[in-house]
Amino acid sequence: MTHAPASPKSASQSPSLLRIAGLPYFLIAFIARLPFAMMVVGVLTVVVSARGSLSLGGLTSAAVGLGTACFGPLLGAAADRFGQRAVLVILALANGAMLLLFTFVVYGTAADGFVLLAAVGIGATAPQVAPLSRSRLVTIIRDRMPEARRDRTVSGTMAYESAADETVFVFGPFLVGILASAISPWAPLVGAAVLTVVFVGAFALHPSGRHVSQDRDADGRAPSAVSELFRPRLLIVVVGILGVGMFFGAMLTSLTSFMADRGAPEQAGLLYGVMGVGSALLALGVAWLPPAFSLRARWLVFSGILFVGTLLLSVVDSPGAMVLALAIMGIGIGPTLVTQYSFGAARSPLGRSATVMTMLGSGVVVGQSIGAAVTGEIAESIGTSAALLLPMVAAFITFAAGAANWVLSGERRRLSVTV
């Protein structure tokens, strides 16, 4: 079925995305992200407490990322094929069970190998609400909004979603710290299990999840071949977002080591929040950038600001100087993440939007796990100065991917929203 193009008047009078999806949707989707943000840090916390090994804790966090890397895109493909509702209901129950099982195993007498295996299970069953929410909202925009408003609405939606991710990835570790301190190190994982079952289940059953399958579009065309997911123009976005995830993990871990050297490791989260708050605000502001400031230029500019901010880490010698460096990095990281997700939405092959978004979401988590594990090992064995080099490496990977994207997208540059 075809639709006539919307007139300017009808486009201006059409309902907003907030009205179409409903405020409860955004509240549920926001809270449902929390368990995902709590997992890596929660696993690290409980392993260090129960087993007394920072090295094992880092490996276990990396194992969570490994499970996500291996199974996340497959779960996205299943959502494309069978619809989000059925897949998410199963994952909510399975992941809640795996979180409880992991807690039981880590406090038991099982060998470290079983702890790592259970951690892989947590990552493998993780319901990636954030990427699936992006896919769901983009589908709503394309199906129910006039063409004249789609591009700007998609850009604004990616900005909101990235700001929500930023907020959750700052608040998640903070919540882990509160629960672990006030109750016990096992409390964050039990809390994450409860949140997963209740709010991921609610997200799954929300009316917006009724789409059975996105395998065919309105004209009945079959979905794109799987090989379309491996195009260089899409893979470079995955590499870039992997760099962002590595930056998150490396920055938080090296910052913790930096503050521990000054006898106040518990203040690392407060300093990290300076970057997170600024990043979230700037991410929201991306929707108001002029169309002439193309996506490929935004990636290069804002990742460049991020990289410059990380270079300051080589000279910081006080919490005040660290706050300044974090504030500069916050200017770059949020808009970079928004831009990468916008590229993912624009370059998703037909019928593969959930797959692409879970690929990108997996990239963030895998990168975070790798960054935290490697940085933790370096901080423990070599020292904080060496650990502070890792955020620079991650930022450079993100910037280099942006430069490669500039070249790859230059040949096909049309509208700013597609390049």
Q: How many domains does the chain have?
A: 1
Residue 187 belongs to a domain: yes
Residue 13 belongs to a domain: no
Task: Report the alpha-carbon angle 41-46-47, nearest 5.
Answer: 100
pLDDT tens, position by position, 258-282? 888 888 776 776 787 788 777 877 8
CA dihedral 220, 223, 225, 231 (to 10 degrees): 120
pLDDT given for residue 78 in this prediction? 85
Q: What is the SS3 assignment for 271?
A: helix
Average pLDDT over residues 159-184: 77
pLDDT given for residue 252 in this prediction? 83
Residue 2 belongs to a domain: no
Nearest Cα residue to 277 out of 179, 386, 412, 169: 169
CATH of the domain at 106: 1.20.1250.20
- Where is pLDDT greater, at 55 or 367? 367
Q: What is the mean pLDDT of the chain?
A: 82
Q: State CA 188 to chain mean position distance.
A: 19
Give dist(CA 268, CA 266) in Å, integer: 6
Count Cα atoms within 13 angstroms, Cβ side, for 294.
Answer: 15
Nearest Cα residue to 14 out of 167, 153, 175: 153
Residue 220 belongs to a domain: no
Residue 60 clears pLDDT 70, i.e. is over it: yes
The mean-pLDDT minimum among 145-154, 187-196, 199-208, 369-378 falls in 145-154
Alpha-carbon Rg for the chain in angstroms: 21
Residue 105 belongs to a domain: yes
Residue 329 belongs to a domain: yes
213 within 8 A of 80, measured Cβ to Cβ: yes
Identify the domain containing residue 53 by its residue range. 21-213+225-418
Average pLDDT over residues 147-165: 77
The mean-pLDDT minimum among 27-36, 200-209, 217-226, 292-301 falls in 217-226
Residue 15 belongs to a domain: no
Residue 16 belongs to a domain: no
